[in-house]
Each structure stands twice: as structure tokens, then as C-alpha cells.
Structure 1
Amino acid sequence: MVRKLVETAPDAALRSLELALAGPAGGQGALATVRGLVEDEVTARYVRNSVLAPIVPLCVARDAGQTAFPPRALTLLWAALRQQAPKKVEEAAARCNPWDLEQGPPDVFDELCKVASRGLRAQTEAGFKALDALCDVDALASCLELSTIVRGALPKLQEWVSKMSEERASSARLAYKDACAIRPDAGPLLFEMLAAHLPDDFRILRVISAVMDRPGDKFWASSEVGAFGERVLADIEKNIDFINAFDPAKGEAEGRKAAHAAQRVAQQITELEQSVNMAKEGPWGRRLVKYKQAIAQAVEARMNAAEKELLAALPLRPISILGGKKGKGVPQLTAEPDETQVRRLTAVLVFIAEIRGCALQSGYGSSRAKVLEKLNGRLDQYIEDILHIVRTGDGGDQGLARLYVDLAAGYIAYSRDEKTAEIVRRRAAAAMAAAA
């Protein structure tokens, strides 16, 4: 039963189990047997993932429309190969070491992928038949048929997407030509498999652009690889919608997630503009102009709400009745900080801080600078007022003042930097010591 659990455990769970059993306690008693099972499974999966490397990233949960297979497909496929070609599997295991892999993937890896592809097509062996109920065996067989080309392209992939040169473009075109020699419609599937190996799958646009010699958006949109551009545009729209709708009450993690969405939009827009010859009135060009305006409006709306959130989290009372809402106020220390308002302001400030890298290129850099200038001015004045209360007790409860000065220090770490926040904390500690 334990062996079955280990064999079917997800990779992440297996790594956690391996780490948990790595200590001295894991080598004693019954746990020693379990650790042995885990170590054997880790080794077996290393061999399996090396042999089936071209399709491994496809066997995870992926976005709708992308080629994907259930994670269990890898397990069943490897079991079928061990039954169908045990000697080749043993050879692959023997060759699956750093010394052999330094010379490039052994031929037996590709041979096993061919065996798997033929087995899936034939559907005569029980091991391969089991996959028919789990996934599209024709699609999986097609991916395995291209595995030789994908495996050969993977060492070059980072070079292709980092800085494409004419020599690298020629190499990418050759890989595309070889794929189409296997089957005429294999081009999109080749790009799909390569994209799955990239941390940001939208960067496959660079490779497609090199193969197609940077086509116009009208031609690309109507071609067999048009889905890759459409997918990026749909993701841009989805991320803009998220920025518009995210709930600051969920706190820092949500603000960070929204900022990452803004960063991704900026990267994707740049990628499209560099990879595609956009026409102002083209099918993608029109949409890209609209999305540029939409992302700037969404981000600026979030930033402009920061001052209101600041007042709610660090409330002020007017110095005089005549001052009204617009008059300068002093800290209002009548209740402990409102946790919801604290989370809301933190989320907005984290969002503003995290979009620093993409603000200028996306057209809202000056708006961000103005918002931060105003926020920092308010925070500076608030901190001076609250430190006065901490030292003297004049103007409110000293205990509450200490809570609020700690909050303000945390906020200024986001709006300015951690060094400024640490200075505020030291000043607060000195003020508290003086008041004691």
C-alpha cells in the first residue's frame, strides 16, 4: 500500500516526503523502508522525466486551449514502456547520468519515445490501451513523434528567446522544417511543446516571428499559428479585468498579484510589438491600442484611490471645525487600527510599489511618481505628529499612538524604502524610551 502511495504521489509531494525522511530519524525502523521506496521512486522519475522530457511540461494543468495531458499519463506511459521495451528502459537508466548527459541525450531516449508513439497508435498492448481512457492518445502520439526535434531544440531555446540573431533564426527555421517533414501540420504543435518549456510561454512569439520573418498582424492572425497571438491578447484582457476588480481587503498578497498582472501585461504588449509587424488598423493592432489605454486607466484608478485608503487606515481629525475635511488634521486616536482598512491600504501600497519596473514603459510612470509624492508627504507629516504624541502624550493616547506609528513605518517601507521605515522605527523606540 505504501509503495502504491509513493508511486502515485505528485512530484511536489514526493520531494517533500524525500526531504522529510532525509534526517537521521528517516533511516530508522519502518521509516527506513519507506525512505528506500521514496529514493527508488525519485530515481525512477528522474529517468522517466529525462526520457520523456519533451512532453513532461505538457502533463500538468494548463490554460484552456493549450495542449495538455493529465499528470497520470506520464506514469501510465512509462509503465507501458517498461513492459514493452524493458531492455531499452534499462539502457536509458544506465545512460541517465551526468557524464552521459553532458555529451547530449543518448539515442535510446528518442528510441523509447518512438516505441511509445507506435504503441499509442497501434493500441494493441494493454499498457498503451489504458491511456486511451485517460487522454487523447492521437495528440500524445503526435507529441512523441516530435520529441526528437523538441529535445534537440531545448538547449537552444533560451538563446532563441533571449536575443534572436540571424544564425539562431536559421536554426529555429530548420527545426520547424524538420517538424513539418514528419507531418505537414506539425508546426503549431512544435511551438506549443517549446512554449511549455518556457517560464513565460508567451515568449514563444519570438521564435514564431523568427520562423515567419516578422509577419504583419493580419497575416499572422489568419495563419495556422494565429492562436498563439490570440492567446496572448486574451491573457492581456483577463489581467486588465483582474486589476480593475481585485479586492484590496484581501491584503498584501492580492495587491502583489494585481501588480504582477500589470507587469505581465507590459511584457506581453512589448512582446507583441516586437514580434509582430502591427498595423494601426490591423486585427491585433486595433486591440493593442485599446488595451494600452485600458491598462493605464485601470492602474491609475487603483493608484488614485490610495490617498482615500490612507485616510481610512490612518484617520485624522481636523485641527479646528473651520478646517473642515480639507483642512490639515492631526492623528485621530480614538480606537485601535481597523484591520480591514489596514489590509486595504497595504494592498494598494504594495501594488504601487511592485509596478515600479513597468510603470514608465506602460505610460503611467509620471502618475505613479505624483501619487507617491503626495502619499509620502502625508505620511511624513503623520509620522511627525504621532511621534510628538508618543513623546509627550499631548494630542491623544500614547498606547494607540505607538500602534499607529508602527503602522505608518510599515507603510512608508512600501511607498519609499525599508531604510526610511527603519529610521522611523528607531525614532519611535527613542520616543518611547524618553516617555517611559
Structure 2
Amino acid sequence: MVALSDRKIEIVRTLVESAPDKIVGGLQRALADTNGDTVLASVRQIVETETRDRLLRNAVFQPVAPLCVGDGSDKNSLVFPARALSCIWSGLKAQVPAEVAAAAKVSAEAATAVATGRRAPDPNAAFDSLVRLTADALRSGDQRDFRAAAEICDRARPGGAETLAACLDIAPVVRRAIARLPEWVAHASGDTNAGARLAYKDSVAIADDAGPRFFEMLAAQLTPPWMVLRIISAVMDKPTERYLADSEVGGFPERVMNAIDEELKAIAGMDLDAGPEAGRAAGRLVDLITQQVFELEVCIELTRESGWGRRILEQKQSLASVVEARLRDADKLSTAALPLQSSSRFSRPRKTGPKLDTPPDSKAVGRTMTLLHFAHEIRRGANHGGFSAAHAKAMEKIGGMIDHYVDEVLDHIRTGDVEDLKIAHAYLRAAADFNGLVRDNKAAELLRRRAATACEADSPQPLKPKAG
């Protein structure tokens, strides 16, 4: 097969170099099996070269790389345009190619040592040297790529270039802290708290206003980012809400509480017609809020009467309220999806048996499934969220309704009061699906077997041909 021309190779290289990391990674996986003298083999070589280059870049700029996302215009957190990272890396390679090559060499040696079980050399000194060069070059703007990076950052936010340079100033401190993040987040103790405090002091020794940047850079390394509250709490020895609110890092808890408000709105506005995934997504938000509230309560000394403590208490009450409302909706809709007939022979209308003259209402069944997926998703965190009793009561009520409905339908099938078995079976299948979410898969499968057995037993048997 004819190889790509040099001009087309350069076009592909330019496209690959400008693509986001996620796209480049996807291309690498897609081209992994390409070999030989094919057109794709040359593309694969370009992608692999770019992948190695980006791995080195991200290692050098590990403390700031996660902050370089999108267009850098997010006002709720410290971010920079992704293009700025590409520009400063290009600038480094153009301005100090020997130092970049040396960093690549020590990085490769470290990777080889780890793979072979030998003691690995520490590449951090080489990386930190490049970071310091970058901060200086970004401020001076003498080189074209660094000047472009500064302009991009300043367009995204006022003083963006200087803020990025200030982040690079404390990058060596943050790099050492990143290695200890799992320990700091997982095990709060005197030793781990002391390590976090020392790293914080090292950063503010470089710049008095470095504290917020230090925590922003650590938060970008964590999943989820709000786990940085544990480190803030360790550094400040579990501060009171008033002290933390008046400090330069008071925005971190505020950000979490604002996110909770948005998550509560999303749960309340769940689209019941969007299907089971919408229900599960809303259920995951419930668990997320529960975790966020827990972190706020554990990391900060709160007062229930006012301030953050009062706001968090109201959020917990709102969460319980919106969850209970959704559980009531699940009860109403499940009853509508498995309808009973009403008789007017009595002074008050009474439900006399399953309504099996029309097929199930697909909209009612779909909405019920959405809400039951929601209820199923929140079952583990119901106790911590403060709605365990409401959840248990709703599931017990819906489960009892399903049992009664199924018994009634099966009884009608046995007595021959069902005109269309297909309709009856459709209702039983819907009830089984509901049962699987209210109880478990075994309960759902048992109901499906009972339905299949009843419907098969009541189906007319085909006549057998006479012998001879």
C-alpha cells in the first residue's frame, strides 16, 4: 500500500499534536494492532511519539497539568486553558532542548528500573528545574510560545499568566505533597497532619498568598476534588466555621455547599420519562450529597444555629424531603402501572380486581421503573441520609401491593376470567420488573416463573392429529 506523502504526514502530525489527551489516547488504542508498511502504520508512529511526549510533559508539569482544562474560563475553580500547557511545553523544548532531553532520559531510566524491580532514580530534580525555567520564561515573555501561553491565560481570566507562574513557583512543594496525598486523605493522624502542615508552610514561605493555590493544586489531583477538605482540616486543625469562612480558603466549603444546592435541584427535577439511567443518576446524586455533607461535618466545627451549620442542616432536610417526595411518586405510579378496576355498586367506589382489558400503559410503567431504579440506587445510603425509615416504608408498601396484584391476576387466570392472556402476562412481567428493584432479582425471577407457568397452563392446547 502507498505510504502517506510528507505533506500529509505533516498534516496528520499537526492534527495529532493539537488533539486533546483523551483523543490521542483513543487513537493509540485504536492503532495498537497496526503494523507493516501500511498507511496506518505511519500514523501509529506519529501517535505513539506524541503519546510519549505528552507523558513526559504531564510528568514534568504534574502539579499544574490537571488545572489546564478546556478554555480555562471556569469561575468556580482555578483552571487555565489547555492550550497554555501545550504552548509552555513547546517553549521549553525550543528554549532548553538539552534540559528536556535530560529529563526524558532520567524519566525513562526510572520507568525501566521500576519495571525490572531495581531502585529507581528520582526524576523530580530535573522536573523541578524545568518548572522553574518555565515560570521565569512565562513572566519574561521573550520566547514566542511562552508569550502565546501568557496571552491565552490572560484572555481566560485577568492576571491568568501571573497566576499560572505563581502555581509553577510552588509546584516543587506540591509535587512532593502529591506523593503523600493517599496517606493524608485516608489516615488522619498526628504524623499525617504534621506532613500536610509542613507542606503548606513550605508553600506560603515561597509566597504569602500561596495557600489557596496550594489547596487548589492538591484538589485537582483528587477524585473527588472536595476531598481536599480533609487536608484543609488537617492543616488548620479542624477549624471552626467562622474562622474558616474568614480565611483565604473559605471558598472551598462554599463551593461544596453550592454544588449540593445544584444537585438537589437536579434530583427534584428528574425527568421521569428519561428511563432507568435517569433514576440511577439521580440516586447517585443522593449518595454524593450524603458524602459531601459528611465531609463538611467531619472537617469543620459547625454550629447548627447559624452560618454554614444552619445551611448544611437545611440541605440535609431538603434532601430527605425531596427523596421522600420521589418515594411517594414511586408508590403512586406503581399503582397506576398495575391498575385495579373500580366498582360503582357501592356507596364509595371500591377496587374489585385487576384491570386486564387493556395492555399496560407504557408511560406509567416507564416512569415507575425510573423511580424504582432511583429507590434501588439509594438503598445503601438511606440510613446515612436520614431517610431510611421512609425508604423502608415505601418499599414495603410497594412490595405488598405487587404481591396482592400478582395473586389477583394469577387467580383470574386460574378461574378463566382473563380474556387475553397476553395482556395478563404483560402486566405480570411489569410486576416482576418492579419486584426486582423493590426486593431482588431472585424475587423477580420467581414471579416470572409463576407467570409463565400460569399462562402456559391456561393456554389452549393445539389438537393432535389423529393416528391413521
Normalised by the length of structure 1, the TM-score is: 0.93
Alpha-carbon distance change, 319 to 172 in structure 1, aligned in 2, over 3 angstroms: same
Q: Which stretches in structure 2 are left out of the alignment for 5+ residues?
A: 1-10, 115-119, 154-159, 462-468
1:17 aligns with 2:41: no
Rounded to whole Å, the distance in 2 between the matches of 1:76 and 1:173 is 34
Counterpart of 2:395, as a letter, is L
Partner SS, residue 318 of structure 1: strand
Given candidates 52, 64, 68, the residue that maps to 1:55 is 64
Alignment match, 2:361: 338
Greater shift, 194-203 or 8-17, is seen at 8-17
Q: Deviations over 1:142-163 (max 9, x none)?
A: 1111111111011211121112
Pair 322,230 (structure 1): closer, same or farther in 2 beyond 3 Å = same
> Cα–Cα, structure 1 residues 344 and 110, in superposed 2: closer, same or farther, change >3 Å?
same
Q: 1:108 — aligned with what? A: 126
Partner of 1:87: 98
Aligned-pair CA distance for 1:273: 0.9
Q: What is aligned with 2:206?
A: 182
Task: Work out the CA distance in 1 between the residues paired with 2:345 and 2:30.
Answer: 64
Q: CA deviation at 1:340?
A: 2.7
Q: Summarize the alignment of residues 6-405 of structure 1 with structure 2, pairs less than 5 Å apart.
A: 6-23=16-33, 27=36, 29-61=38-70, 64-97=75-108, 98-99=111-112, 102-135=120-153, 136-318=160-342, 321-322=345-346, 327=351, 329-335=353-359, 337-387=360-410, 394-405=417-428
In terms of fraction of residues, the more helix-rich structure is 1
**Conserved? CA contact 1:206–1:275, under 8 Å:** yes
Of all paired residues, the percent bearing the same amino acid is 40
Q: Cα deviations across residues 89-132 of structure 1 (Å, max 9, x unaligned)?
A: 11222222324575544311111111111111111110101112
Structure 2 residue 15 is matched with structure 1 residue 5: yes
Q: Which amino acid aligns with 2:303?
A: A
Q: 1:331 Cα shift?
A: 4.0
Higher CA-based Rg: 2
> What are the superposed Cα offsets for residues 143-189 of structure 1, whole Å, 9 maximum, x if unpaired?
11111111101121112111211100000000000000110010111
Amino acid at match of 1:129: R
Distance in 2 (alpha carbons) for counterparts of 1:280 and 1:319: 53
Name the stretch that deviates more: 211-220 or 383-392.
Answer: 383-392
Deviations 1:50-107 (A, max 9, x none): 1111112112258532001122222222111111111121122222232457554431
Distance 1:29 1:386, change over 3 A: farther
Q: Are the structure 2 counterparts of residues 390 and 142 from structure 1 closer, same or farther at C-alpha, using a change threshold of 3 Å?
A: farther
Higher deviation after alignment, 36-45 or 222-231: 36-45
Q: Distance in 2 between matches of 1:51 and 1:65?
A: 26
Name the CA distance, whole Å, in 2 between partners of 1:59 and 1:3. 22
Mark the CA change 1:382 to 1:13 in structure 2 (over 3 Å): closer, same or farther. farther
Residues 84, 150 of structure 2: 8 Å contact kept: no
Q: What is the CA–CA distance in structure 2 between the aligned matches of 1:43 and 1:417, rounded to whole Å?
A: 48
Give SS of 1:322's match.
Answer: coil
How far apart, CA to CA, are the structure 2 residues paired with 1:325 and 1:205?
57
Is this contact kept in 1: 2:418–2:424, CA < 8 A? Answer: no
- Encode CA deviations 1:26-71: one digit per residue, 9 max, x unaligned: 6552111111111111111111111111112112258532001122
Change (3 A) 1:30 1:352: same
**CA deviation after TM superposition for structure 1 residue 289, in Å:** 1.7
- Does the CA contact (< 8 Å) of 1:389 and 1:396 recur in 2? no
Gaps of 5+ in 1: none
